[in-house]
Chain A
């Protein structure tokens, strides 16, 4: 079955810098990959979706890349702010059409 690997350790960066989070997957390339933000005790919030035929997607300060050769997606937050501190999850459709697998998430801490 499909496995997702995210760096589960916390990532600390200085305010104003660019945060880069990594999501690696095994086996086949999914049709699309999603990124979510999760705050403590809350449900995931959808941020971006990138399809297998797209190299890059942007939304405001967020950018996602998808490299099917490396089996990897990178998630960037530019000009990071303390309010960006949260856990970021990658997710992809795994197996059946409706079953989405989530990674463990990377906890981002932006230090003022």
Chain B
């Protein structure tokens, strides 16, 4: 079964450093997303991406965050200057048609720890 692949599975970084989280969505999917989940809390929407541009973003997704689809397969989330409160599990997801038929397919996540 096709899956969404995320790398790395764990990332430890110093506060103030830049990190890039990588994702390979399912190949025939057109919509891409980043979510995060702070330990013990709910899954929170960050951003959606369609047709090579951001279609929606949450209030969490401020100027420190950016997304990119540098080629036909990768989808990345960059955090420019990490803060302690950015420590969370980051999930990439993709969908064929915006989630309204078969939901979203999530990756296994990247656990980001900012020290």
Residues of A near any B CB (own CB < 8 A): 31-32, 34, 36, 38, 41-47, 49, 89, 91, 93, 95-105
Name the residue of chain B whose CB is nearest to the CB of A104: B42
Contact of B103 among A36, A38, A43, A98 (CB under 8 A): A36
Query: Could you tell me the distance between the alpha carbons of A84 and B66 in the complex, rounded to whole angstroms?
Result: 37
Residues of B near any A CB (own CB < 8 A): 4, 31, 33, 35, 41-45, 48, 50, 55-56, 58, 89, 91, 93, 98-109, 111
Query: Could you tell me the distance between the alpha carbons of A97 and B55 in the complex, rounded to whole angstroms?
Result: 9
Output the least CB separation between B36 and chain A (Å): 11
Contact, CB under 8 Å: A46 / B42: no
Contact, CB under 8 Å: A44 / B100: no
Known: A43-B109, A46-B103. A102 touches B48 (CB 8 A): no
Output the least CB separation between A70 and chain B (Å): 22
Output the least CB separation between A102 and chain B (Å): 4
Query: Could you tell me the distance between the alpha carbons of A31 and B98 in the complex, rounded to whole angstroms?
Result: 12
Contact, CB under 8 Å: B109 / A46: no
Contact, CB under 8 Å: A99 / B103: no
Output the least CB separation between B74 and chain A (Å): 18
B93: which A residues are within 8 A, CB to CB?
Answer: 43
B35: which A residues are within 8 A, CB to CB?
Answer: 102
Known: A42-B109, A43-B91, A104-B42. A99 touches B58 (CB 8 A): yes
Name the residue of chain A whose CB is nearest to the CB of B46: A99
Contact of A99 among B41, B42, B56, B105 (CB under 8 A): B56
Known: A43-B91, A45-B106. A98 touches B33 (CB 8 A): yes
Output the least CB separation between A61 and chain B (Å): 18
Beyond A49-B101, A98-B50, 19 extra complex contacts between A and B, CB < 8 Å:
A34-B99, A34-B103, A38-B43, A42-B109, A43-B4, A43-B108, A43-B109, A44-B91, A44-B106, A46-B102, A46-B103, A93-B100, A96-B56, A98-B33, A98-B99, A99-B56, A100-B45, A102-B42, A102-B43
Contact, CB under 8 Å: B56 / A89: no
B109: which A residues are within 8 A, CB to CB?
Answer: 41-43
